[in-house]
Amino acid sequence: MPCGAVRTLRTVAIGVALAIVVAACGTGSGPTVSLGRARTGSIEWEPCGNLQCASLSVPLDYAHPLGRHITLALARRPASGRRIGVLLTNPGGPGASGVEFMQAANQVFPAAIRDAFDIVSWDPRGVGGDAPLHCLDDLDEFYGVNLAPRAPAQVADIVRVDQQFVAACKARSGDLLPFMSTASTVRDMDAIRKALGETAISYVGFSYGTYIGARYADEFPAHVRAMVLDGAVDPALSSAATTKQQAQGFDQALNAFFDHCRAQGCGFAEGGDPQRAYDDLRAQITAEPESAKVNGEPRTLGPGEFDLGVASALYEGQHGWDDLASALAGAARGSPAGMLAESDAYTGRTTGGHYSTETAALYATSCVDGPSPTTVTSVAALAAASARVAPRFGASTAWLGLPCTFWPVPPQGHPEAIRAPGAPPIVVVGTTGDPATPYAWAQSLAHELRTGHLLTAVGETHASYGRGDSCVDGTVDRYLLQLTVPPPAARCA
C-alpha cells in the first residue's frame, strides 16, 4: 500500500508506501477571517471560499534558476488572533493537494492554533498550478488488476497495465518527470517561506509530509521555528524494507479488525470466523468480480479495488471498522457499492472514471527519490518475501511499486538517516497501530534526528494529531504555541 496522505475525518485521503490517496475536503466552521486582498512578502492573496489563495512562480530546475518556471498554487487561513507567525502544513502523498487539505483546516487545527498562525499549504509540483502531471486519464484497469498474482498470465497483466501507465506518463509529462523529487519540493517550500517574508516557519507534516519536513530541517535548519512530524517515514529504510514493514502494518491492522469482529460481531461473518470469511470473500471476488451500477455508472469490484478499499478503511483505525464491516457485508451479498466507495476514496476516483493527479505525482516522486527493484523478477521475489510476513497485503504492496521498475527517470536519491544538525527540537508523533507508517518508523526517525523528540500515541489510525485525542492535540499545541517540548518517553494512551 502507499503510505499516503492523512485523511481528515474521512474527507481527505492518501497515497506509495508512505503510502497512496486524496478525496475532496469539506469546509469547516470557525472564527470569521478577513478575506480581503492581502500581501505577504511577494505573494498576493485573494479570497477563495473560506480561505485566501495565491500562486508562486518557482524554477522547474533549481540548478538553472533563470530557466523555465512553474506555478505553485497556495492556500492560506490568516491568523484570527494575536499572531505568532506562519505554520506550513503538508498532508502527505506524495502528491496530495495542500489546497484541498486547507479546506478542512478548521477540523485539524484547533482555535488556539488558528488564532496564532497564518496556516498555509500548497499543491506540490505536478499536482496543481500551471504544470500538473498527466499520465492515464482512466485508471480503472491500473487499479483493478489483481496484485496478488498466482499465475504467469496474472503477472503479465500487471506488467502490461503498469507499462501502459509509465508510457503515458513519459509521453504526456516527460518534461516534468526529472524535476519531481522531494529535494525539489524542499526547495519549493523554502521559496514559499521567502515569498511569505518569514525568517523562520513552523511546520506540521503528515505521512509523506514528514519526509519533506525532515529533509527541510536538514537543509534549512535556521529557517525552522518548530516542526511536528506525524505518521513518520523512516528515510533510512530501503524500498524492500519499507514494503515489507508497511505490508505488515496493514496486516496487523486487519487482524485488529478481525479481533473486533470476533468480540463484537460483524455482518459479513456473523456466527463464524471473520478471518476465514474475509479470505473466502476475496477469493470469490478474484474468481468472479462483482458488477453493479453505482450512481448510475456500471462498476466492477475486482481484487484490486477490494484490497484498496480495505486499506482505505484501515487508515481510520477503529473509526473505520464499522464502515469496513458494512462494505464487506455488502460485497458478501453481491452489492459492491460500499467497497467501491472505499476504494475510490483511496485512489481519488470520481463518477465517470475521472481521477485526481495524485497517482501520477505519487509515482513521479517516489520513483526518483530512491532506488527500486530493477526487474520484474526482483519485484516478484519481493512480493513473495513480503507475503510470507504479511499474507494479505504483502504481495499487493510489492506489486504496487512495479511502475518504478519501468520509470524513465533514474533515481536521484538513496536511503539515508536524516540528522538535521542545528535544527530546533522536532516533535515526531508515532501511533502504535498505524498501518501505513508503522510506529517503528517514528521511533527510528526521532532517534536519527539530532533534536528529535518522540511522542507516542496509542491507537490504530494513520497519524494522530487533529483526530480528537486531547493528550496528543494538547501536547502538540503547547509545543507549537509555547515551544514546550514533550518529556522523554511521552505517551498518550
β-bridge partners, 454: 428
270 half-sphere exposure, CB direction, 13 A CA radius: 4
- The Cα–Cα gap between 77 and 35 comes to 9
> Which amino acid makes up residue 119?
I
Catalytic residue set: 207, 434, 462
382 burial type by CB count under 10 A (0-12 exposed, 13-18 middle, 19+ buried): buried
Comparing CA positions, the residue from 194, 202, 188 lying closest to residue 94 is 188
Count other C-beta atoms under 10 Å from residue 80's C-beta: 17
**Contact predicate 462/251, CB 8 Å:** no
- The Cα–Cα gap between 354 and 430 comes to 34
Q: List helix spans (H) across 348-491.
A: 358-369, 376-389, 394-399, 439-448, 470-482
**Contact predicate 125/101, CB 8 Å:** no
**Contact predicate 327/338, CB 8 Å:** yes
What phi and psi values does residue 278 have, to the nearest 5 degrees? Answer: -65, -50
